[in-house]
Amino acid sequence: MSDLKTPAARPANPRFSSGPCAKIPGYTLSMLEDAPLGRSHRAAVGKNKLKEAIDLTREILGVPADYRIGIVPGSDTGAVEMALWSLLGARPVEMLSWESFGEGWVTDVVKQLKLDAVVKKAPYGQIVDFATVDFDKDVVFTWNGTTSGCRLPNGDAIPADRAGLTICDATSAAFAMDLPWDKLDVVTFSWQKVLGGEGAHGMLILSPRAVERLETHTPAWPLPKIFRLTAKGKLIEGIFVGETINTPSMLAVEDYLVSLKWAKSVGGLKGLVDRAAANAQVVWDFCAANPWLANLAETPAIASTTSVCLKFADPRIKDGEAFAKAVAKRLEKAGVAYDIGAYRDAPAGLRIWCGSTVETADVAALMPWLDWAFQSEIAAI
């Protein structure tokens, strides 16, 4: 162990957490000086900021003009819950799960809303076979499994003439992966993921079909005020032009605006997708050259480019969980990688955030440190 040399280069930014994620490159608090602090979010200055955030989101993501975009409370969780409580119950439901957050939505629908849903699950490392899904039902799924590192490769299996709604939790995919809007009726995400924004705010995007459902369907259960999207049978349009349900943080709004403007500066959606893909490729190449580390995703087509989940594959490791925690702790103590342990419900291993705000040079600089930490812990066995 004493013969192991620490790598010469270090990541300039050791923040590889999968949420909250790394801030944009060059970020400083001075970028938020234009935030209208101490002003009402209902004053013109507040409304304008919120409307700008919605408009820039539409522009960068390429959201169709007839889709509504709203800023809602409770981060991505709040946005998903709002969709589930408000939209489901009109027709049969199919729940798809291949990681812990998808499993959480199954629990909400089956145990809280008590719907007799068809539940299809895939183990960590795989995704549900979409060819087996009945899209005449309402279908709920995550696009990218943040805790499993497995994503839907495309929307080809979703029919254009589906009778049901597709409700997609895209929080670790939006701004880093191409989302086929014509195949998605509800999309949710949070600011603190791919663009590294601050927490507590969610985004809810609705297709015209989803709006029609809201205006024609009354759920069988009570809806808290914070979930209500309609009044007297009509969509509350104000929510989708910046009139939020509850008080937003104008500091967080400003932070999101800064991130959105940075996104435009690096080439918009294509630039963001390319940055995440380049980051993930560095990790994949390292795994290919070092067989003791492998992608948790079992096939390249479903491997995430944002939350890259890894497992150790060395027969000398007897306690995988303890070993993985020791590696992550060693890297954090060295100051080269923070918060890269696998999610608590996921298989033992590492999870490296490779989203668009991460610099490829930092991912490349981390790779020799992975080898150093692995070899150090193996020597200690």
Q: Which domains does the chain have, with CATH numbers?
A: 30-264 (3.40.640.10), 268-380 (3.90.1150.10)
Per-residue pLDDT in tens (0 to 9) along the chain, 381 residues = 446 899 999 999 999 999 999 999 999 999 999 999 999 999 999 999 999 999 999 999 999 999 999 999 999 999 999 999 999 999 999 999 999 999 999 999 999 999 999 999 999 999 999 999 999 999 999 999 999 999 999 999 999 999 999 999 999 999 999 999 999 999 999 999 999 999 999 999 999 999 999 999 999 999 999 999 999 999 999 999 999 999 999 999 999 999 999 999 999 999 999 999 999 999 999 999 999 999 999 999 999 999 999 999 999 999 999 999 999 999 999 999 999 999 999 999 999 999 999 999 999 999 999 999 999 999 998
Instruction: Quote the tokens at residue 260.
Output: 């959105």
Cα–Cα distance, 67 to 81 (Å, whole number)? 19
The DSSP letter of residue 193 is: S
| DSSP code, position 357 | T
pTM as predicted? 0.97
Omega of the bond leading into 180 within 30 degrees of 0 (cis): no
- What is the Cα–Cα distance from 107 to 140, expressed in whole angstroms? 12
Residues recorded for the chain: 381
Q: Which residues 6+ apart lie within 8 Å of 253 measured at CB? A: 35, 49, 50, 53, 71, 201
Q: What is the dihedral of CA 146, 150, 153, 156, to 10 degrees?
A: -90
Query: And the tokens for 362?
Result: 């930092």
Mark residue 175 as left, alpha or beta (left: phi above 0; alpha: psi -120 to 50; beta: remaining): left
